[in-house]
Chains A and B, each alone.
Chain A
Amino acid sequence: MMTVDCQRGGNLVSEKKFPVGMRILAVDDDPICLKVLENLLRKCQYEVTTTNQAITALEMLRENRNKYDLVISDVNMPDMDGFKLLELVGLEMDLPVIMLSSHGDKEFVYKGVTHGAVDYLLKPVRMEELKNIWQHVIRRKKWYPKEQNRSPNQDKVDDGAGEGEQGVTSTGSADQNGKLNRKRKDQDEEDEEEGEDGNDNEVSGNQKKPRVVWSVDLHQKFVSAVNQMGLDKAVPKKILDLMNVDGLTRENVASHLQKFRLYLKRLSCGGHQQGNMVSAYGAKDSSYLRMNSTDGFGDFRSMHGPGIQLSSTSLSSYPPGTLLGRLNSPGGLTLRGIASSGLLQPGLLPTNQGKNLFQGISLEPKQLQMKSINHIGEFNHKGDTAGFTLARCFPDVKVTIGSLSNTISSATSSALILQANPLQNHSKGSLVTQSLSMPSLNQESFDVGIHGSSNFLDHSRCDDNWQGAAQLSAFPSFRHDPLPSSTLRDNISSTTSRIVNSPIDFSSTASLRGPLEDSRVDMQGQTDFIGNIFQNTTNYISKNRWEENSQNYNPGLNGSFGAMNSLVSGNGSSGALNQSMDQRKRFGASMIGQSNSGALSMFQHPDVENFALDPKMRSNEDVILEQTKSQNDFVQNSYESLDDIMNAMIKQGQNDASLMGGEFRFGSFSPGSCM
C-alpha cells in the first residue's frame, strides 16, 4: 500500500490502503466484457462503477470528477468513439484513462497513447494486468498535484510536476526556445514543462531549482544593465555580468529578461490604459511585438491536431467580440498590440493564425482584439469535439494588459520595451506562439506563455513553444512576487499538450500581450517578476478567473483552460473564461501547464491565488486562453512561464488587477470544441 495523496475530489483515498478502494469507472458496451471487468477489478479490491455507454460515463464524470480515480474504457463503442472519450476525459477531468481493446494493432495503440491514454490493454483483460493499474493514479497525483491543492509554492516548486500528467508536462518544456514538450500525455515528465523559459531554471518541470526572487533592487540592477546595452542587444550573459550579483544564474536572468520583454511588449501593444510602459517605451517595437507570428505560428499550424481545432470553427462559434469586449472593458490592458486582429479573430486560430495572432502583439496599437479570446470560455462545449479545440479556447483568452504599464514604471528606456521577439518558434510544431518575440530576447524569453499553448494544440504535437507570450520583458516594477510560476508553467505545459491540437496561436498572443504583467509572460519561473506585474492584473484574474473559468471552460479543455480562465479573467473579463473555466479546474491544471506557459504569464494576476488552485489549470488555462486567444486575440502568450505567472499571481495576492492589464480572457472554451 502506498501512501498516496489522493485528493481527488475530496475523496481521499485512504493513503495507507491505496490502492485498495481506488475508484474506477469502467465503460464498455459489451456486457460480458463489462461484467467480467467489473469482477476482475473488484477482485483487486478496487471500487468499481460501470456503464455501458460512453455518454453516460462522461456525464457521470462531469457530474463529479472527483468521485473517480481512474477510468477504463473500451475503444470501440457505438455511441462515441473511445478515443474521443479518452481525450475528453483527459482534458476535462484530467483523470488517467486506460484503453481497452480487442485489437492490439500498433495503430490503435498509438492512437490511444496520443489521445492521452495512460495504458492500453488488450481484451480479454487479465487480472495481472489490472493489478497494477493503480500506478497510473499515483503517478499522476504525485507529479501533477494539480488543481486541488496546488499551493502556490508548490506550483512554483514543481512546475513541472504539477500539472498532472495530462499534457502538462509539456509546458515546462516550452522553453523559450520552444522546446515545449508538450504533449505529455501521460507523463510523468513534468520536468519538461517548466522549461519554458529556455532557462532551465525555473520552470523545468519539477523545478528543483530554487527560485530567484526578483526584488526591486535586483530588478533595478537588471533594468539598468539592460539599459546599458539596450534592450535589443541585451543578452542574459551580459546582463548577468553587468549586474554582478552572486548566486544569480544566467538562466535566471534569461527568463527574467524574457518576461521583461514580454511585459514591455504588452505594455506597448496593449493599449493599456494605464499608462503603460509602452508609452514610455514608445511602442517602438511594433516589430517586436510582432510576435513572430511566423515563428510561433509555425507551430500552430501544425497544431491542428484532430481534436483541437483552434480553428476558426470553434472560434466562430463564439461571438468574437464577446470576450474582447470584456477584456477591454475592464481596466485591464487589452493588449492592443496583440490585436493584430489576426489574432483575435475567433476563427483565427491556428494555422494561419499564427501570424495573426502575433501580429496583434506587435506593438501596433491595434486593438487587441481580444475578442477572440474571450471566448475561451465560450467555446462552449461545442460538443465534445469542438470543445477541445484548445485553439478555440485560447483565443478567448484575452489578456488585458492594462496594468502593466504601471508596473513598468521603471521600464527602462523604451528600448526595453517588449521587444517582440520573434517568437522563438521553438515549438516545433506547436504553437509557436511564443509570443512576443522580443527580438532581443533570447529565444528563451518567450516561451513562457506560449509554451503552454503549444501544448494545447497538439497533444503531442505542440511544441511548447509558446514562448512568445512569455516574454515579459517589461517588468519594470514587478513586485516580484514569485508567481507560482511553476504551477503555471506546469499547467501551461500540460495544457499545452493538451491543447496542442489546435494550433495555439494564442500562445503567441499571449506573449504579445505584451506588457502583461510580466509575470505572465515570463511565466517561466520568473515568479518574482510576475509577481509584480501580476499583482495588478493578476488580482482579478487569478482568483476569480480561475474559479470562474474553471467552470467555464470547456470540458474539453483540459483543466488548463480552467486555469487560464481564471487567469484571464482576472481582469474581470473573466466572463468568457468563466464559462469555460468550470471544467478547467481540472483541466486548467493540466492544460495550463501545457498551454499556459504563455497564458499564465498573462495572468499574472496579483491574485494568483486563483491560480494557485490549479496551478495546472491555470497554466492550462493560460495556455488555453492563450491559445484561444491567439486565435482571436492572441492571448497573451506572455505566459512564458506559466509558472511565473502563476507565481506571480499567487504572490501578488490580490493585487489590483490593474497590473495585470492584460486580461486574459479565455474565451469560453468549449470543451467539445477542442476535440
Chain B
Amino acid sequence: MERNQLRRQVALTRQSLFDQGFLDDQFIQLEDLQDDANPNFVEEVVTLYYRDSARLINNIEKALSVYNFLSFPSLLDFLVQQHFYIGAKKVKAECTLFREYCRAGNGEGCTRTFQQIKKEYATLKGKLEAYFQVLFHLMLPLSSLISQ
C-alpha cells in the first residue's frame, strides 16, 4: 500500500515537473537510458549536472562581475548544453536568452537574465531533488518499507 502510494507520488511529482515546464523530453530520453545495467543512470547524470552547472554558473557570475563577456560564449555553450541533456527546459530557455544578450553585448540584459538563470536553476534543482527523494524511497526494498 505504501508502495503503491509511493509510486503514485513519484509519478505525480514527475508529471508535475513536466507540466510545469521544468523538464522536457530530453529527460525522458535519459530515463530511457536507464536500465538494469545502469539503474541509477538518471540520478548520476543529474548529479553531474548539479556539479557542473554550479561551477559554470559561478564562472559566469565571476565573468559578469568583471564584465568579461568574452568568456561567455564558451561557458554558455557548456551551460546550455548541459541543460539540453537534462532537459531542463526553463533553465535552458533562460540560458539561451542569456546567450543572446551576451552576443548582442547587452550588459543589462545579460545581468538580468543571468539572475533568472540562477533562480530557475535553483528551483529546478529543488524540484529534482525532491523527485529523486521520492524515487529513492520507491526503490527501497520492500522490507524497509514495512517498518512504516
Q: Which residues of A contact B (CB under 8 A)?
A: 30-33, 35-36, 39-40, 42-43, 76, 102-103, 123-124, 126-127
Contacts and interface: CB of A to CB of B under 8 A. Distances in A.
A102 B77 contact: yes
B81 A123 contact: yes
Contacts of B41: 39
Given A30-B52, A32-B48, A32-B49, A123 B38 contact: no
Contact of A32 (B29, B38, B52, B74): B52
B33 A30 contact: no
B45 A42 contact: no
A127 B29 contact: yes
Contact of B81 (A35, A102, A126, A127): A102
A281 B52 CA distance: 73
A574 to B, nearest CB: 45
B52 A124 contact: no
Interface in B1-60: 26, 29-30, 32-33, 35, 37-38, 41, 44-45, 48-49, 52
Interface in B65-123: 74, 77-78, 80-82, 84-86
Nearest to A39: B33
B82 A30 contact: yes
A102 B80 contact: yes
A565 to B, nearest CB: 40
Contacts of A39: 33, 38, 41
Contacts of B30: 36
A123 B85 contact: yes
B84 A35 contact: no
Interface of B: 26, 29-30, 32-33, 35, 37-38, 41, 44-45, 48-49, 52, 74, 77-78, 80-82, 84-86
B77 A36 contact: no
Contacts of B44: 35
B126 to A, nearest CB: 19
| In the A-B complex, the 7 residue pairs with the closest CB atoms | A39-B33, A124-B84, A102-B81, A124-B85, A32-B48, A32-B85, A31-B48
A36 B33 contact: yes
**Could you tell me the dominant secondary structure of chain A's interface residues?**
helix
Given A33-B85, A39-B41, 5 more contacts: A30-B52, A31-B48, A35-B45, A42-B37, A42-B38
A32 B86 contact: yes
Nearest to A40: B33
Nearest to B81: A102
Nearest to B26: A124
Interface centre among B37, B38, B45, B81 (most CB of A within 10 A): B81
Nearest to A103: B77
Contacts of B86: 32
Contacts of A40: 33
B72 to A, nearest CB: 14
Given A35-B48, A36-B45, A42-B37, A30 B29 contact: no
A38 to B, nearest CB: 9
Contacts of A30: 52, 78, 81-82
Contacts of A35: 44-45, 48
A46 to B, nearest CB: 13
B47 to A, nearest CB: 10
Contacts of A32: 45, 48-49, 52, 81-82, 85-86
Contacts of B74: 76
A440 to B, nearest CB: 58
20 contacts: A31-B52, A32-B52, A33-B81, A35-B44, A35-B48, A36-B30, A39-B38, A39-B41, A43-B32, A43-B33, A76-B74, A76-B77, A102-B77, A102-B80, A102-B81, A123-B84, A123-B85, A124-B81, A124-B84, A127-B29
A126 B52 contact: no
B18 to A, nearest CB: 17
B84 A126 contact: no
A36 B85 contact: yes
A632 to B, nearest CB: 40
A40 to B, nearest CB: 6
Nearest to B35: A43
A265 to B, nearest CB: 53
Nearest to A28: B81
A67 B30 CA distance: 28
A125 to B, nearest CB: 9
